[in-house]
């Protein structure tokens, strides 16, 4: 029997899940899980890539001890972050997207290429941590002058396993530098910003076999975790989805990128899918609740937190996507300011957070329907947030849609699905090649 290993790494944890076909269905078993998180170093937030690699290898070892017939593996992670090289040596540190180093360079980038032009060319939503801005911070600091290569995070980990460097399409579309027309890096953007063209070669597609690690094939899945998550949703027809984790990724499949002014104004992104475009928006997710829990009641299980939120009568809403919630020193203080110091109990804080998340889903979904000219009846929710029945109920009430919550490891399932197909995907969505 052929078995396959999905290594799915998020900003707060990673997991190794083995999958195989049996009795006409897909069976899975989690064999390893580990914590992840950025650490502070020299006043910046950075990733410990050596620790990540150790955990990846530890998990592969656990998978091999459980199953002796693993045919292939692949890795997906969050987008935008990368590792620079000087020859064969990593240029450390590897900065995390929540670091504030881009604050002073965003305006400089937009002086050379106004955001409206960037959006027209790429369809990538504005986020202060997009790779395009992180690289300009590297340029200003002089780090980019030393760089001879660049790999996004999952590409880097796969390279450390099998020794082959590749650049995968779906993750590349999170950089803000991939053309909506060609599906390759936009040479005009690279030229305008003075980025070395050699760092941005032709992109590979999900299904590409790279090499081997300890007798296991290393394959490119859709290495951006949301791209794999969308592949893993057992969806009837084409309906909007939310991949609910630290962030909430709300979107829908479209035949081609939408780079019109309305999409730009709504800050919707166009990112790579497997044969389609993902028209989606990064909005706040469980980060709000997780940070409140750490500060208010670190030893209280989430089941009790949800009950307290349900019992609260608080009707206060805040803008869940406001900048003050992005990386505050104190999430409680951020809520206090936004709510006018009217939150009194722990239940009030969590009820406000959950209701505000549901309201942000409503607003984003209304934008999506206006921009696509389509009214949808269902909303699929996958990921960690799908397990929260209270939030799902609030979302159904706020959006008026039938919420189909699937508390499944959709990202790992999509990762496994693409390995099992093991097809070199040459077809691009219309408008991306």
**Residue 326 buriedness (CB in 10 A; 0-12 / 13-18 / 19+):** middle
Q: Name every residue whose Cβ is closer than 8 Å to that of residue 5 and which is 6 or more positions away in sequence.
A: 16, 17, 18, 19, 60, 63, 70, 72, 73, 74, 216
**Residue 188 buriedness (CB in 10 A; 0-12 / 13-18 / 19+):** exposed
DSSP state of 203: P
**How far is the C-alpha of 400 from the C-alpha of 9, rounded, in Å?**
33
- 3-9/70-76 β-pairing: parallel
**How far is the C-alpha of 128 from the C-alpha of 131, rounded, in Å?**
9
Biggest CA–CA distance in the chain, Å, is: 60
Q: Name every residue whose Cβ is closer than 8 Å to that of residue 340 and which is 6 or more positions away in sequence.
A: none
Let me know: does 409 contact 17? Beta carbons within 8 Å.
yes
Which entry of 76, 138, 149, 225 is annotated as an active-site residue? Answer: 225
Alpha helices (H) along 114-238: 115-122, 131-141, 143-146, 153-162, 169-172, 187-193, 225-231
Let me know: does 257 contact 270? Beta carbons within 8 Å.
yes
**Residue 352 buriedness (CB in 10 A; 0-12 / 13-18 / 19+):** buried
- Nearest CA to 198 among 165, 169, 159, 153? 165
E runs forming strands in 179-291: 209-213, 216-219, 241-244, 247-254, 269-272, 277-284
**Residue 313 buriedness (CB in 10 A; 0-12 / 13-18 / 19+):** exposed
To the query of whether residue 48 is one of the catalytic residues in this protein, the response is no
- 13-22/241-244 β-pairing: unpaired
DSSP state of 199: G
Instruction: Report the side by side order of strands in the sheet with 247-254.
Output: 269-272, 277-284, 247-254, 241-244, 378-383, 402-406
**How far is the C-alpha of 103 from the C-alpha of 235, rounded, in Å?**
39
Catalytic residues: 225
């Amino acid at each position: 029997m052929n078995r396959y290993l999905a290594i799915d790494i998020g900003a707060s944890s990673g997991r190794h899940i083995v999958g195989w076909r049996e009795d006409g269905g897909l069976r899975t078993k989690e064999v390893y899980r580990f914590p992840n998180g950025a650490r502070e170093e020299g006043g910046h937030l950075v990733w410990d890539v050596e620790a990540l690699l150790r955990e990846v290898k530890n998990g592969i070892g656990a998978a091999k001890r459980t199953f002796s017939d693993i045919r292939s593996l692949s890795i997906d992670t969050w987008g935008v972050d990368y590792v620079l090289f000087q020859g064969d040596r990593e240029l450390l540190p590897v900065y995390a997207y929540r670091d504030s180093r881009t604050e002073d360079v965003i305006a400089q980038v937009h002086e050379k290429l106004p955001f409206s032009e960037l959006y027209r060319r790429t369809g990538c939503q504005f986020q202060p941590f997009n790779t395009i801005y992180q690289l300009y911070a590297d340029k200003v600091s002089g780090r980019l002058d030393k760089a001879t290569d660049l790999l996004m995070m999952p590409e880097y980990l796969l390279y450390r396993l099998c020794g082959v460097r590749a650049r995968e399409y779906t993750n590349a579309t999170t950089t803000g530098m991939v053309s909506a027309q060609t599906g390759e890096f936009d040479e005009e953007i690279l030229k305008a910003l003075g980025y070395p063209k050699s760092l941005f070669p032709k992109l590979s597609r999900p299904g590409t076999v790279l090499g081997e690690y300890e007798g296991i094939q290393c394959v490119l899945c859709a290495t951006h975790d949301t791209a794999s998550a969308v592949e893993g949703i057992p969806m009837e027809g084409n309906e909007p989805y939310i991949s609910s984790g630290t962030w909430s990724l709300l979107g829908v499949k479209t035949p081609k990128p939408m780079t019109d002014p309305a999409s730009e104004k709504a800050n919707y992104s166009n990112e790579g899918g497997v044969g389609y475009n993902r028209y989606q928006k990064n909005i706040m997710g469980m980060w709000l609740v997780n940070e409140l829990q750490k500060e208010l009641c670190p030893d209280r299980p989430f089941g009790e937190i949800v009950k307290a939120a349900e019992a609260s009568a608080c009707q206060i809403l805040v803008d869940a996507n406001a900048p003050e919630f992005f990386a505050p020193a104190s999430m409680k203080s951020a809520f206090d300011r936004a709510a006018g110091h009217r939150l009194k109990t722990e239940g009030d804080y969590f009820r406000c957070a959950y209701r505000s998340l549901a309201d942000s889903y409503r607003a984003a979904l209304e934008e999506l329907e206006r921009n696509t000219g389509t009214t949808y009846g269902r909303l699929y929710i996958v990921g960690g947030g799908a397990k929260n029945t209270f939030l799902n109920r609030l979302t159904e009430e706020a959006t008026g849609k039938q919420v189909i919550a699937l508390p499944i490891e959709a990202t790992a399932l999509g990762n496994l699905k693409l390995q099992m197909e093991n097809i070199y995907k040459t077809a691009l969505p219309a408008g991306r090649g």
